Amino acid sequence: MALIIIGLAIISYPFWPAIGYALHKPRPTLPYQTKLSNLNANNPLNNLPRLPEIGNRPVPADNRLVIPSINVDMSILEGPNEQTLNRGGIWHIPNTSNPKQGSNTVLSGHRWQYLPPSSATLYLLDKVQVGEPVIVYWQGQEYDYRITGREVVDPNRIDILGPTAEPRLTIFTCTPLYSTKQRLVLYGSII
């Protein structure tokens, strides 16, 4: 009986973070000082079910991605290929734009690399809803985006990496969970 219980616990372990999220949704958190902290009628944070906790740390010196609704706070890493992700963070895809230049800033991260819940993975990216804010800190500047769309695509859909006329943020990771079969893609427009 003890071996069966241990076996079931081991088999179910990968699903514990999703179950925990369903039972107790984390409080959205903005760990740094942000322009979004001035709540008014047009503020995208008003769309969140609960107001976020706003930290008092200064704007980070390194490039970072913050997704308040799932408590992601990751370094944005530069590198020539996906092996860059092994350094722990989110990868800025080479030859795509950056927030300062406008066009399409494309970021990709692991969904299951470190034991979740972890602010260094995109494990809960599927929980991010259209309308929620995402913040990119790039070269000491804050760029605020609102999620405008999402889709699941095949890995050969390279058009998601292409330039755009308007500033856009594209974030993608593997899906379904524990598989590299497809990609979950979120799109954000600058606020």
Please report the pLDDT score of residue 57 as a whole number. 78
Measured between alpha carbons, how far is 117 from 108 in angstroms, rounded to an integer? Answer: 18
**SS3 sequence of 61-115:** CCCEEEEHHHCEEEEEEECCCHHHHHHCCEEECCCCCCCCCCCEEEEEECCCCCC
What does the pLDDT look like over 3-14, one tens digit per residue? Answer: 999 988 888 777
What is the span of the domain harbouring residue 125? 58-190
| 123 in a structural domain | yes
| 48 in a structural domain | no
pTM of the predicted structure, to 2 decimals? 0.83
- Which residue is it, tokens 């299951």? 112
What does the pLDDT look like over 97-153, one tens digit per residue? Answer: 999 998 999 999 988 765 555 667 888 899 999 999 999 999 999 999 999 999 999
Find the CATH number of the domain harbouring 63. Answer: 2.40.260.10
| 178 in a structural domain | yes
Contacts with 17 (C-beta within 8 Å, 6 or more apart), sequence order = 116, 117, 123, 124
Map residue 39 onto helix, strand or coil: coil
| 52 in a structural domain | no
Please state the domain count of the chain: 1
